[in-house]
Amino acid sequence: MSSCRTRCLVSESGIRIRDIIDAIEARLLTQPSHMDRLVLSVCGADLMSDVLAFTKAKTLLLTGLTSIQVVRTAGVVDLAGIVFVRGKRPSPEVVELAEAEDLPLLVTDYPLYEACGKLYCLGLKGCSELDPGGRTGECLTSGT
53 is a contact residue toward another protein (CB under 8 A): yes
141 C-beta neighbours (distance < 10 Å), count: 10
Residue 33 or residue 67: which is nearer to another protein going by CB? 67
124 C-beta neighbours (distance < 10 Å), count: 25
What are the phi and psi torsion angles at 131 (to 5°)?
A: -135, 65
Q: Binder to another protein among 77, 96, 117, 134 (CB under 8 A)? A: 77
Q: Binder to another protein among 57, 87, 88, 138 (CB under 8 A)? A: 57
Residues 101-130 close enough to bind another protein by CB under 8 A = 101
Secondary structure (3-state) at 125? strand
73 is a contact residue toward another protein (CB under 8 A): yes
49 is a contact residue toward another protein (CB under 8 A): yes
- Residue pair 17/36 in contact (Cβ under 8 Å)? The answer is yes
Pairing mode, if any, of strands 81-84 and 59-63? Answer: parallel
Residue 72 or residue 89: which is nearer to another protein going by CB? 72
- Residue pair 135/119 in contact (Cβ under 8 Å)? The answer is no
CB of 97 to another protein, least distance (A): 9
CB of 52 to another protein, least distance (A): 5
89 is a contact residue toward another protein (CB under 8 A): no
Secondary structure (3-state) at 82? strand
DSSP state of 120: H
Residue numbers of the site for another protein (CB under 8 A)?
A: 46-53, 57, 63, 65, 67-70, 72-73, 75-78, 93, 101
